[in-house]
Amino acid sequence: MRLLKYEPMETDPFRSLESFFEPFRRSLREGWFEGMGSQSVPLDVEESDEAYEVRAELPGFTREEIQVELENAVLEIHAKKTEGGDGDQEKVVREQTRRLTVGEEVDADRVKARLNDGILSVTLPKSEHRKPRAITVS
């Protein structure tokens, strides 16, 4: 069983831009994003003007065993280690999952992930039009 909270459908056409960021922050505050049945994944999240940077601890997993997905503003990190080959013989020896809501300002096409010494780093660039920008007064 998983406990997932869903945002109700957009009803207020005047919802402020700020509220786009809110689901992301709230998911971090409430910590509801852990899957059950598999272990969680400890992580750090940082934010710059350009992007969000997620660093997750996944020791012992290879690149092939890690899946990173972004769907409906939810980032899911899923790692699974099996042994015993394919089919019926396959046995899951370790599985870890973590989800977090990242908000809609993320440019899904430019998300990048890399693995180094058991740390998965996911860069989630912000969409161009959501970045803060300085406007020159002419």
Of 8 and 132, nearer to other proteins (C-beta) is 132
Establish if 30 lies at the interface with other proteins (CB under 8 A). Answer: no
Choose one: 36-44, 83-91, 104-112, 124-132; the region binding other proteins (CB under 8 A).
36-44
- Residues 2/38, Cβ–Cβ less than 8 Å: no
Establish if 52 lies at the interface with other proteins (CB under 8 A). Answer: yes
Establish if 7 lies at the interface with other proteins (CB under 8 A). Answer: no
Closest CA to 77 of 110, 45, 105: 45
Establish if 46 lies at the interface with other proteins (CB under 8 A). Answer: yes
Gap between the terminal Cα atoms of the chain: 57
Establish if 130 lies at the interface with other proteins (CB under 8 A). Answer: no
Q: To which H or E segment does residue 82 belong?
A: strand 74-83
Establish if 45 lies at the interface with other proteins (CB under 8 A). Answer: yes
- Closest separation in Å from C-beta 14 to other proteins: 27
The single-letter code of the amino acid at 41 is V
Closest CA to 45 of 60, 29, 68, 34: 29
Establish if 70 lies at the interface with other proteins (CB under 8 A). Answer: no
